[in-house]
């Protein structure tokens, strides 16, 4: 039985970072321009969503991302501050749905929907590790 505290629709969380050279589209090989990459933006959005849920989870539980529908709306130069905001919009059993948005210092740079699933860490890792034994 999963032990999860009452997850509240409407709960929000924000994370901020500075766009670093390691976050560039060139570094990720996701583009040919030295700007903040879509994969880095999505990672920041996932971080905001994960951290939004952390306070609701009992020890031994975590979340994994299961779905993303994201638009990257505007480019951000390396060195500029970026932030991601996640808001819980639905809870469907162990699945939690978020509205996510990202901003730089000037404008909104991304938006979309992200879903995370609550897992028992030990059971999850055990299933993953079993994949290795199936290859032999």
> Which sequence spans correspond to the domains of the chain?
12-135
How far is residue 78's CA from residue 80's CA, in Å, rounded to a whole number?
A: 6
How far is residue 22's CA from residue 5's CA, in Å, rounded to a whole number?
A: 36
Residues involved in catalysis: 38, 46, 72
Structure tokens, 7: 């997850």
Binding residue ranges for CoA: 65
- Kindly indicate the confidence band of residue 1, based on its pLDDT and cuts at 50, 70 and 90: very low
How far is residue 60's CA from residue 18's CA, in Å, rounded to a whole number?
A: 31
- What CATH number belongs to 12-135? 3.10.129.10
How far is residue 114's CA from residue 100's CA, in Å, rounded to a whole number?
A: 7
What pairing do the DSSP bridges indicate for beta strands 95-104 and 108-120? antiparallel
pTM higher than 0.75: yes
Per residue in 40-91, pLDDT (tens digit) is 999 999 999 999 999 999 899 999 999 999 999 999 999 999 999 999 999 9
Instruction: Beginning with the edge strand found earlier in the chain, give each strand of the sheet holding 81-92 in spatial order.
Output: 12-18, 81-92, 95-104, 108-120, 61-72
């Amino acid at each position: 039985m999963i032990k999860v505290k009452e997850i509240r629709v409407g709960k929000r969380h924000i994370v901020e970072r500075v766009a670093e050279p390691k976050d560039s589209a060139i570094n990720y090989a996701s583009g040919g321009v030295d700007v903040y990459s879509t994969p880095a933006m999505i990672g920041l959005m996932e971080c905001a969503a994960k951290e939004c849920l952390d306070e609701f989870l009992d020890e031994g539980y975590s979340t994994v991302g299961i779905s993303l529908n994201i638009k990257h709306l505007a480019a951000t130069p390396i060195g500029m501050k970026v932030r991601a905001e996640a808001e819980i919009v639905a809870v469907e059993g162990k699945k939690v749905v978020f509205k996510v948005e990202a901003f730089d210092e000037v404008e909104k740079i991304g938006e979309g929907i992200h879903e995370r699933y609550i897992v028992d860490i030990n059971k999850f890792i055990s299933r993953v590790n079993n994949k290795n034994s199936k290859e032999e």
